[in-house]
Amino acid sequence: MSLQRRWPASPGELIQAQLALAAADPPAPWTLSQRRELAIGACAVIFPRRLTGPGARGDRAWAAAAVLLERRVIAQATVLTYAGAAYIAGLLALREGAALEAAVRPLAEAPDVLLVDGTGRDHPRRAGMALHLGAVLGLPTVGVTHRPLLAEGGWPEDVRGAASPLRLDGETVGAWLRTRSRTRPLAVHPGWRTDVETAVDVVLSATFGHRTPEPFRVARRLARTARAGARGG
C-alpha cells in the first residue's frame, strides 16, 4: 500500500500528508512470526563533509540501502541524489524522503522489514519519517534514533534487551531499548505496520553485539564509500 506517488514539495504539503498518514488505516500488522528467516533492511543518507547547519534544497546527498539475512548482505544499492529542502524539525521528509526512497527502490531483494533513521508516532503530527517512508514504499518499518523527538520515558536497566516505554501525551509511541550493556540505549519507534513489541524484537535481532543494528552499519558504510569516491565529496 502506497499513499502517494511523490514526496511533498513544501512544508504545507508535508503537514497535510502527515496528518493523513496519522489517520490512515494501514494493512494488517506485520510481526516477526510471519517469517522464519528475516531479511532486515536499512537505509541511510549522508551529505558533504563540510556542510554545516540545516543545509539547503539541492545539497548533494549520497543515499544507500542494504538488506541482510543474519550477517550476510543479500542486496545493496547506492545513489547520488539531492536534498529536497533544508532540515526543519518535524519536516525531515522534505529533506531526505525522496533520497531514501531512491536508495530502497533499486534493491534486488526487498526486505521483510526496513530500519529507518527517524521516528514513527513520536512526532508532532504522529507521522515521522519511519512511518512515512514505510507507507510510500509499502514496507513494514521500524524507526531507530539516538533520542526521542518529543516522547519521554526513563531508561531501562543496564542489561541487553531491557526496554522501557516512551510516551507522548499519555500514549506509548516507542521504547528505549538497551542493545548493549554499559552503553546508551536507543530509541525504537514502531513505523508502518509494526507495533512497539515487534519494533524492539527486530532491532535486537539485528545488532549482533553492537549498539547499532548491523543493516544500518552496512548502509552507512556504503553511503560513505560512495561519498569518498566522488570528486569533492
What's the confidence (pLDDT) of residue 231?
65
What's the confidence (pLDDT) of residue 230?
85
Domains of the chain by range and CATH? 38-229 (3.30.2170.10)
pTM of the model: 0.95
Question: For residue 186, what are the contacts with CB-CB under 8 A and spacing of at least 6?
Answer: 144, 145, 146, 176, 177, 179, 203, 211, 212
- For strands 113-116 and 141-145, give the pairing: parallel
Per-residue pLDDT of the chain (233 residues; tens, 9 = 90+): 344 557 999 999 999 999 999 999 888 899 887 557 899 999 999 999 989 899 999 999 999 999 999 999 999 999 999 999 999 999 999 999 999 999 999 999 999 999 999 999 999 999 999 999 999 999 999 999 999 999 999 999 999 999 999 999 999 999 999 999 999 999 999 999 999 999 999 999 999 999 999 999 999 999 999 999 986 54
What's the confidence (pLDDT) of residue 1?
38
What's the confidence (pLDDT) of residue 37?
85
**What is the SS3 string spanning 40-78?**
EEEEEEECCCCCCCCCCCCCEEEEEEEEEECCEEEEEEE
What's the confidence (pLDDT) of residue 32?
84
Dist CA 91 CA 85 (whole Å):
9
